[in-house]
Every structure is written in C-alpha cells, then in structure tokens.
C-alpha cells in the first residue's frame, strides 16, 4: 500500500493529493458537470479514481510505457478530467488538444510531441492521424474494483518527469510544445492555494479550455485540496448567462479566467456576483483596476488578484492583490506585483545587465516553475532558456520595469507576439499559413486596438486575382484555431517596410485606420430605433443604420454581453450570445427581438427586482 503520509510527494506530484482525497474522502464530490439542458451530474472522488483507473488499464493494454506523451481530444466535462488523471497515473504526460482544432494543427501537435496514443471522442476521424486512437466511449469502469485496489494500479512518477505539454503559437508556423514537470506546476499550485487558503470547501468554475494552462490550476489546484471542479458542457461554455446561473447554483467560491471573461460575467450579473464567490484570479491579459472597483459592495470580503507570467513558467509567476487603497493609484492596469514563492524575476537590458529602478527592460523569469523547454525544438529552447550567473532563466520577450515600491510594472511585448484574450499568438505563424495559400504572395499580421477591442488584422499582397476575405477565412479555419484567424483582412499593392527591411507596423496600422462600412440604410421601425440607441452605447458609435453590423462597428463578446443586458432591460426579452452572433446586422437583430416579444418570451417583472 502506498504511504500517503509523505507530504513531500503530495507537494511535488500533481495527482497525489487527488488520490489521497479519493482514499480518505471517497464520497466527496470531485467534479460537477452542467449539461446543455442545465441539469447537473456529479462524480465523487472514489468514482473518479475508478473511472481514471479504467482508462489507465486501456492504455496499458495498448502497450503504453512510462514517460510517453499521450494526446487527449475530448470535450469538456468529467470524462476529460478522468482521462487527464489516467494519463498522469500511468506515468505519462498529457497533451490536451481542443476538439475544435483543425486537423492540420492536430497533426502538427501529434508529430511534434511524438504522440503514439491518443484518447478521442466518438466523432473524431480516427484515420486523421497515424497514431493509435483510443475511443473513450469504449472504456467502462469496473464497478467491482475498490478504491484501495485502484490506487495499487497507479504509477507514481518522479517529480522531474513531464506532467503535461501545452502548445502555444510558434513563429515558424509550427506550434511550440511547452513541457512542464510535476514539481514545477505544483510549486505554483501550492503557492496560490496557500496564499488564498484554498481548501476542501472550495469550488471553481472551469471556464478555460484544457489546452489553456489556467485549466491546470482549475483541475489540480482544487482536486489536491478536496474541493469541487465545476465544468460546463461544450455547447454552452461560451454563454455568460450560463456562467451566472451555474456559478450561483453550484455556490462557486473561486473564479479563474482572463479579464475579458470575468468582465462578461460581471456584466451579465449586473456586477452582483454570487455571495459564495470569495476569490477572483485574473491573468493572461491586462487587468483594469475598474474591474475590481465596479463591483461595489460585492467587493466586501472578496479577494481579487491579478497574476502574470508565462506558460513556460508553470501558469503564473507573479501576483498583485487589489485593495481599496488602490482606487487612488495612478495606474489604470494592475501591476505585475511581486514574484510568487520559489520564483523570481530580473529586468534585463539588451547587454544582459539588470535595469535600475524605473528603467524598462526585458522580463526574465527564474525559479522552480521553469519549463523543461520546447519539446522537439532545441534551437528555440536555447534561445529562450538561458544561463546567467549560474542560474537558468526564461526570457519572456515582455517589457517591464521595477517601480519605487518594488512592484513589477508590465509594459507589453517586445516582439511580434501578441496577446488576445490570454492567448499568446505569434503573428509570424499566421503569416506563414497565409503565404502557403495559393494566390497569396505576401502577408503581414498585426494587433489592432479598435474602441478598446483587441483584434488581429492581416494585410495581403495577391499574386494575381484577389481571393475574397470570407473564402480566405474558410481556408484558415482548416489550418488555425479560431482565435488566430484575423478579424480584418485587407489587400494592398505592397507591404510597407522599415529602413532595415522589416514590416513597418506603424504604417500597417494606418492601412487599417479606415474601416469599410456598408451603404447607410435609415432606421424604419420603432424596435430598430430603440435598438440603435443601445448599440450606440455599446460600441460608442454616433451614426448607426439598419444594415450596420455590430461587430464591424467594434462590437465583441464583451460588448455583446453588455448589449444583451440592455436589451433585457429595455425589451423585457432575453437573447443569448449566440443570438448576437447569428443576427449581427441591426435590422436582423431587431426582427429577432420582435419575434421573441410576439412569441411571449417577455420577462415577467417583479416589483423592485430591476
């Protein structure tokens, strides 16, 4: 029998705490999953361990050996978490691949990480890859096995063995696989759990996809202390109204996401976040201090922190916790703050000397959390992971400086990499895909800000005939994930260059300064006129016509969430985020509202409720 009194192992192996909880508290709820219908299904720690053990058996029957990398292509939910645990408990590393990833990118991930076995959902094209595809539905848990017997099946890895590999965008056109060891990830997880006193009474709403490393904390941070992971069906995972309902129903205590997602949650909740919520962790993008102070009385007793770092340093490396004293601070975006325990930062000049206080340089991260590097790419690993004064450091490519209080102030990127809603995107990877499309000679991709919305734009030079942007996007969707497809595509006769021959990104921004608009069509119905006023407030537009498109005018998911709340207040009907995407033209959206009102979907008002 395994000795679970070994606290050192508990702190260094990612699934160790989960297994211990399955032994000591087998009847406690480990995962609670909400389906598209709104019903909830729960699984206990003991049941989840048995389910994971059944997958482990299947992996062994397929000839898996320790320290392999095993792919997982499963939708959100209990099965996804069981598969992750099974892979690790077989002595291997899991490689999460989103179900919506284009097949070409799936093949690149499989090839780069040397995957021989992959756990897939029923609809996955088994012939799409040349590896052994294990269909999840064919795996059944043994109801007769005891929790103690299940534990005996587990292989406990060395703390330095690879626990997971998460792929980020790569400048060469091939995604980069970041290889993280068990103890590196657990150093971050344990630090955050200690700082916020996370325990078995806590629950987290998993809004991040499992190929985004915020999910690593959602799963292992909570399962290690005996809490509950709350998951959402893939079909409703992007609906803020569903987040609100589920967070309230499940009494969620911890929120962990990129800032834009929490902003949407606050908007749909009218800034009245659940009473159960005690801790908000935001990272992956700039965190505005307004997000904290807009909560009003909901801030009472709430711990609210901005975290930062890189996938290459195990989720997070720094933290700044907000307080009421920050309302008068002269910064708009929350500082990076200070390094987490057992992690460290340097701010370096190009000549590898440290910057004095107040002088901007490149942020370097050191400490236990550092990745092993990029799997199968020694050259890129050597470029980003360097030795300096006897220690290993990760060069982030981010700019920042140290202020007089000793806090790190983040200043953005130094290179062509951009961040959109927490996703790190190499513009060069998108450019390489563009130029591999027949008919495209050159491509330049940049990040734009339009009315506060961050987006990707592409300038193209055609060989001869111009391919319509919509067709270009269809081609890209077969090769890139949705978040890497530029929202705006424009053709130009030549890409502007700087004196040293690089793309002139300032001139490229001017190219996109004038947005294409449709012919102006006057508003005709009362609904169109009332709706146009709500649009004007959402996108800060002065002149809106019936044929205007919400997203062309600068709308995005966050602004759409705000618009949904305004429509509910003004028309007494509830639209979903999917409705806004399905009916982005004002006239069509107005017609959708008229149909909803006519069908009797109006909300019954209760005096004093709104």
Q: Which residue has the tokens 């969430």?
A: 561
pLDDT digits (tens, 9 = 90+) for 73-84: 999 999 999 999
CA dist 216 to 47, 129, 163, 219, Å? 21, 26, 11, 5
Burial (0-12, 13-18, 19+ Cβ within 10 Å), 379 = exposed
In a domain, 63, yes or no: yes
Q: Are 333 and 320 in contact (CB under 8 A)?
A: no
pLDDT tier at 227 (50, 70, 90 boundaries)?
A: very high
The answer for 12, left when phi > 0, alpha when psi is -120 to 50, beta otherwise, is: alpha
Q: How far apart are CA 186 and CA 314, in angstroms?
A: 8
Q: Which residue has the tokens 């009494």?
A: 251
- Mean pLDDT (whole number) for 349-374: 96
In a domain, 520, yes or no: no
Domain count for the chain, please give it. 4
User: In the structure, how many helices (H) and strands (E) does the chain have?
Assistant: 20, 26
Q: Are 205 and 243 in contact (CB under 8 A)?
A: yes
Return the bridge partners of 135, or none: 120
Which of 304, 328, 352 delimits the end of a domain?
328
For residue 502, pLDDT beyond 70: no
For residue 425, pLDDT beyond 70: yes
In terms of domains, do 470 and 574 share one? no
> Tell me, what CATH number does 546's domain have?
1.10.1200.10
In terms of domains, do 272 and 359 share one? no
| Side-chain half-sphere exposure of 355, counting CA atoms within 13 A | 22
Q: How far apart are CA 357 and CA 349, in angstroms?
A: 12
In a domain, 610, yes or no: no
- Mean pLDDT (whole number) for 480-485: 87
The two three-digit tokens of residue 521, written as one number:
């069509």
High-pLDDT (> 90) share of the chain, %:
55
For residue 234, pLDDT beyond 70: yes
The residues near 379 (Cβ < 8 Å, ≥ 6 apart) are none
Q: Are 335 and 407 in contact (CB under 8 A)?
A: yes
Using DSSP's 3-state secondary structure scheme, residue 305 falls into strand
Q: Are 441 and 461 in contact (CB under 8 A)?
A: yes
Tell me the pTM: 0.81
Q: Are 395 and 365 in contact (CB under 8 A)?
A: no
pLDDT tier at 607 (50, 70, 90 boundaries)?
A: very low
Domain encompassing residue 573: 526-598
In a domain, 2, yes or no: no
- Between 58-62, 285-289, 452-456, the lowest mean confidence (pLDDT) is in 452-456
In terms of domains, do 154 and 207 share one? yes
Which of 398, 413, 428 delimits the end of a domain?
413
The residues near 202 (Cβ < 8 Å, ≥ 6 apart) are 222, 225, 227, 228, 253, 254, 279
pLDDT digits (tens, 9 = 90+) for 86-104: 999 999 999 999 998 888 8
Residues making up the chain, counted from first to last: 610
pLDDT attached to residue 606: 29
């Amino acid at each position: 029998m395994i000795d679970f009194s070994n606290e050192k192992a508990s702190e260094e192996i990612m699934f160790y705490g989960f297994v211990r909880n399955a032994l000591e508290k087998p009847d406690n709820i480990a995962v609670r999953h909400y389906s598209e219908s709104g019903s909830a299904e729960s699984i206990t720690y003991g049941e989840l361990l048995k389910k994971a053990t059944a997958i482990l058996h299947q992996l062994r029957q397929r000839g898996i050996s320790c320290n392999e990398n095993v792919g997982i292509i499963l939708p959100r939910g209990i099965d996804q978490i069981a598969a992750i645990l099974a892979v690790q408990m077989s002595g291997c590393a899991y490689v999460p691949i989103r179900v919506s990833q284009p097949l070409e990118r799936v093949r690149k991930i499989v090839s780069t990480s040397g995957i021989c076995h992959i756990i897939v959902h029923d609809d996955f094209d088994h012939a799409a890859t040349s590896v052994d595809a294990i269909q999840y539905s064919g795996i059944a848990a043994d109801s007769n096995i005891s929790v103690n017997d299940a534990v005996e099946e587990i292989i406990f890895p060395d703390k330095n063995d690879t626990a997971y590999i998460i792929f980020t965008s790569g400048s060469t056109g091939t995604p980069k696989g970041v290889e993280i060891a068990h103890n590196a990830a657990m150093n971050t997880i344990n630090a955050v759990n200690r700082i916020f006193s996370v325990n078995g009474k806590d629950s987290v709403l998993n809004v991040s996809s499992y190929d985004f490393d915020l999910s690593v904390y959602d799963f292992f941070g909570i399962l290690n202390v005996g809490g509950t992971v709350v998951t959402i069906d893939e079909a409703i995972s992007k609906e803020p109204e569903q987040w609100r309902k589920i967070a309230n129903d499940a009494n969620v205590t911890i929120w962990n996401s990129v800032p834009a997602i929490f902003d949407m949650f606050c908007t749909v909740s009218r800034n009245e976040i659940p009473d159960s919520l005690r801790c908000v962790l935001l990272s992956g993008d700039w965190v505005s201090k307004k997000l904290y102070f807009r909560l009003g009385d909901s801030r009472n007793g709430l711990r609210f922190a901005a975290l930062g770092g890189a996938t290459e340093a195990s989720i997070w490396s720094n933290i700044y916790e907000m307080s009421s004293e920050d309302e008068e601070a002269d910064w708009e975006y929350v500082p990076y703050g200070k390094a987490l325990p057992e992690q460290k930062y340097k701010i370096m000049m190009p000549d590898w000397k440290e910057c004095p206080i107040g002088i901007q340089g490149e942020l370097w991260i050191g400490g236990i959390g550092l990745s092993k590097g990029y799997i199968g790419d020694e050259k890129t690993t050597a470029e980003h992971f360097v030795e300096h004064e006897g220690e290993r450091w990760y060069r982030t490519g981010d700019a920042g400086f140290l202020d007089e209080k000793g806090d790190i102030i983040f200043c953005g990127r130094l290179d062509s990499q951009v961040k959109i809603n927490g996703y790190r995107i190499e513009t060069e990877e998108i450019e390489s895909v563009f130029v591999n499309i027949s008919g495209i000679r050159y491509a330049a991709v940049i990040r734009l800000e339009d009315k506060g919305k961050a987006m990707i734009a592409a300038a193209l030079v055609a060989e001869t005939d111009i391919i319509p942007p919509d067709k270009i996007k269809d081609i890209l969707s077969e090769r890139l994930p949705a978040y890497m497809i530029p929202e705006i595509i424009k053709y130009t006769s030549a890409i502007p260059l700087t004196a040293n021959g690089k793309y002139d990104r300032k001139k490229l921004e001017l190219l996109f300064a004038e947005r294409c608009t449709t012919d102006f069509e006057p508003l005709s119905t009362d609904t169109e006129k009332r709706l146009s006023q709500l649009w004007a407030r959402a996108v800060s537009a002065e002149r809106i016509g019936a044929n205007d498109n919400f997203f062309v005018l600068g709308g995005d998911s966050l602004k759409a969430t705000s618009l949904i709340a305004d429509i509910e207040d003004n028309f007494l009907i509830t639209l979903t985020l999917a409705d806004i995407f399905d009916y982005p033209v004002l006239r069509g959206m107005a017609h959708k509202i008229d149909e909803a009102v006519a069908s009797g979907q109006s909300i019954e008002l209760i005096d004093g409720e709104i």
